[in-house]
Amino acid sequence: MALLSYGNTVNQKPSILDAIILQGVYKTPFLEWMSRGSVAAPKHTWILDRYRDAAANAQLEITDIDENTTDSKYTRDNVVQIIKNDYGMSDFEMQNAKYGQQEWPYRTAKVGKEHAKDLEYAMLGLHQSSVFDPYQAGNPTTPAKMAGIFHYIEADHRQDYADGNGDPTDFTYDRLSEILEPIWEKGGLEDESFMLVCGTSIKKAINRFAGDQYFRKVKEDKKFDPTLYELETDFGSVRVKLHRLFNSDKLKDKVLVGQLNEARMMFHTPTKFSEPPTSKTAKFGRYYTAMTLEVKTPDYFACGTGLK
């Protein structure tokens, strides 16, 4: 009788690739698009001022001084939110034979990527019931939640296109123009850093109405980047960027437009890694960030909702 290799189950050992293959999304574009700063208090306030609109200004040849004492400055604020990721591993587990790289440095690197994803999630306001919600101050039993970028978009820069039943309607070139116009009127479309961020559903609508008005872009290494387009509009060129979080339930019917470098990640405690001491027979790691979001020029942002 012939001996068959698959018949000997006692001496068989599983064939497993000795490198761990990570799956899923790890990129966090908003952390690259936004600028950075620091804060020194758990509540951060910034002061804004706006150039007045042009007005009729005909004067007599000889006039007295008419003192203008109007102060046009106003403030916006946000709270610092603590974002923390802990993980651990028993001494016994660390001594076990592993496939591929050692487990502790592998898990440290993996959790670091996941921590960055949580920062981006918070800056978009996805940790709130609605992305437009204000911040929630913390107390000894409730963590503080910062307001996301959509909260700081001025009311007249928000366009809602849902129909009478609350269902989304088609994104068209005219609707894009309506979203862009308030920013253009206030000078926010004069910088090449202007972006439109959306999910795949709205990007398909852009493909339909744009035709040959959008152009493929190449990255610096000459490789084609299929997620980046430049769209010619009545108000100038707009870069269109896909983002996976805009496929989520809270953002899939929305577009965000603006100069993303006019929003800043403000760190009370920059991201740090530590290994907290413990009496357990285990090792623990912690990523910790205390941060808030500052939208220093809200005039340069707008959004559309109720779109598909």
Answer whether 249's CB lies under 8 Å from 51's CB.
Answer: no
Which domains, ranges and CATH numbers included, belong to the chain?
29-48+73-305 (3.90.1690)
Mean pLDDT score across all residues of the chain = 87
pLDDT of residue 294: 97
Q: For residue range 216-233, what is the model confidence (pLDDT) as tens digits?
A: 666 667 666 655 677 888
Q: Which of 165-174, 214-223, 248-257, 274-283 has the lowest mean pLDDT?
A: 214-223
Determine if the pTM surpasses 0.75: yes
CA distance 79 to 146: 5
Q: What average pLDDT does this structure show over 243-261?
A: 95
Q: What is the pLDDT of residues 13-50, one digit of tens each?
A: 677 777 777 788 888 999 999 999 999 999 999 998 88
pLDDT score recorded for residue 192: 62
Predicted confidence (pLDDT) per residue in 109-129, tens digit: 999 999 999 999 999 999 999
Helix locations, the chain, DSSP H: 29-33, 91-95, 103-123, 173-185, 200-210
What integer is the mean pLDDT of 138-164? Answer: 96
Mutual angle of helices 200-210 and 173-185, in 10-degree steps: 100
* pLDDT at residue 101 is higher than 80: no
Task: Read off the amino acid at residue 269.
Answer: T
pLDDT digit string, tens, across residues 177-198: 999 999 988 887 776 668 999 9
Q: How far apart are CA 203 and CA 52, in angstroms?
A: 36
**How many other C-beta atoms lie within 10 A of the C-beta of residue 112?**
15
